[in-house]
Amino acid sequence: MPFPKKVLLVINPIAGTEDKDELIENIREMSASRGFALEVYKTDGENDRKAIEKIMDDFQPDRVLVAGGDGTINQIADILRDYDTVMGLLPLGSANGLATNLGLPTDIEEGIEVALGEHTFCLDGLLLNGHLGLHLSDLGLNARLVKNYEEGSVRGKWGYAKEVIHTLSEHELFRVRITTDTETYETEATIIIIGNATMYGTGVVVNPGGDMCDGHFEIITATHFDFIELAKLLAGSTELDPEVVKISRATRAEIECLDQKVLFQVDGEFLGSVNRVKAQVLPALLTIAVPDRES
C-alpha cells in the first residue's frame, strides 16, 4: 500500500481532552514535509454526512484520518464504505474499542505515523438493525452498563467501576430465540454479544476466537450466571463454565426477544430497548491503517 498523496482529516472538536489545534498543526507540518495535500473537516453533528461526501467527491483523498471516539469513527466508516480509500484512526474517545482491537498506539504522535503509514488491515462490518457495527455490540448486561454509565455523574475509570457494581446488582435474565445460517435455538440469557472483534475498549476479552476479517461474526450467549461468573466475564476471564456459555459463528442471524424488550448497544452507543436484532456481516468493508505486525 503506497503512502498517501491526498489526505482528508475529519476531526471531532469536542472528543477527548487533546488540543485539537495542536493536532491539526502537527498533521499540517507532516503534510508539508511529506508532500501530500491536506484537507481538514471539523464535525458539527448536523450536516456532516453531506459535507464529507462532497469533499470525498471533489477532493478524492486516498487516505482519510478520523480523530474522535468510537461514535465518530463509526459515523465516518459508514460514509467511507462507498469509497475506495484507507482509514487512519486517531482515537480520542473514552473507550476506543476498535482502536484497542487493532492494537493502535495510544500516543498521538505515534498514532499519526501509523495512520499515515503503509501497513493496512481488511475490516469486516456488521449491519445491526440498520446500524453499522465494527467491533462489539450486545443485548442485556453490557448494554445496561453502557446506559448506566451514560446516565451516571462520574466519568473515567472510577465512574465505570461504580457502574459495573451497579449493573451487576440489577442484571436480569431474558429469553431469546436465535436463528443463524446453520441453527435455531432458544435460551435464557443475561448477555448476548455480537462480536466482530475480540475485546471491549477496556481490554476485556469476550470473544477470544474472533477475527475481524474472516467474513463471519460470533454470537456469545451467556446464561444462568451468578455474581462470580458475571464478574469473571467482565474481567475478561476465559475460564468460564461451558454449560452456560454458547458461541456460534454466523454470516447472518436474527435474535428474537420472546418475553420482553431488551437493552441494546452498538459499539458503545446505547440504542434503547428492542424486540429483535437482525445481524448481517459486510465482508471486507473497510481498509484500515495499522501498525507493522512484524515490528
The reported pLDDT for the residue numbered 129 is 97
The reported pLDDT for the residue numbered 184 is 96
**Residue 62 domain flag:** yes
Do residues 159 and 233 both lie within one domain? yes
Output the nine-digit C-alpha cell for 175: 429469553
Asked which of 97, 118, 139 is the last residue of a domain, the reply is 118
Is pLDDT at 237 greater than 50 in this prediction? yes
The reported pLDDT for the residue numbered 163 is 47
**CATH number of the domain where residue 233 is located:** 2.60.200.40
Asked which of 118, 152, 183 is the last residue of a domain, the reply is 118
Q: What is the pLDDT of residues 136-182, one digit of tens each?
A: 999 987 766 665 555 554 444 444 444 444 555 556 789 999 999 99
Do residues 107 and 215 both lie within one domain? no
Do residues 112 and 136 both lie within one domain? no
**Residue 65 domain flag:** yes
Pair 260, 195: CB distance under 8 Å: no
Residue type, 70: D
**Residue 83 domain flag:** yes
Pair 18, 92: CB distance under 8 Å: yes
The reported pLDDT for the residue numbered 159 is 43
Do residues 72 and 187 both lie within one domain? no
Q: What's the rounded mean pLDDT across residues 92-96? A: 75
Confidence of residue 226 (pLDDT cuts 50, 70, 90): low
Model pTM score: 0.84
Do residues 104 and 205 both lie within one domain? no
Do residues 144 and 246 both lie within one domain? yes
**Residue 270 domain flag:** yes
Backbone angles phi, psi at 123, to 5 degrees: -130, 125
**Calpha distance 201→101 (Å, rounded):** 8
3-state helix, strand, coil in the chain (%, to 5): 30, 35, 35
Do residues 135 and 83 both lie within one domain? no
**Calpha distance 239→194 (Å, rounded):** 20
Who contacts 3 (Cβ-Cβ below 8 Å, separation ≥6)?
Answer: 34, 36, 116, 117, 118
Percent of the chain with pLDDT over 90: 54
Average pLDDT of the chain to the nearest whole number: 84
Output the nine-digit C-alpha cell for 275: 424486540
Give kind and range of the element (H or E) at residue 272.
strand 269-274
Do residues 151 and 30 both lie within one domain? no
The domain in which residue 226 lies consists of 131-282
Percent of the chain with pLDDT over 70: 80
Residues in the chain: 295
Q: For CA atoms 250, 253, 255, 256, give the dihedral sign.
A: negative
Give kind and range of the element (H or E) at residue 65.
strand 63-68
**Residue 1 domain flag:** no
Do residues 151 and 268 both lie within one domain? yes
Do residues 82 and 146 both lie within one domain? no
Is pLDDT at 31 greater than 80 in this prediction? yes
Considering its fold, how many domains does the chain have in total? 2
Asked which of 84, 118, 152 is the last residue of a domain, the reply is 118
Is pLDDT at 209 greater than 90 in this prediction? no
Do residues 108 and 142 both lie within one domain? no
Do residues 162 and 269 both lie within one domain? yes
**CATH number of the domain where residue 25 is located:** 3.40.50.10330
Closest CA to 68 of 18, 120, 142, 114: 18
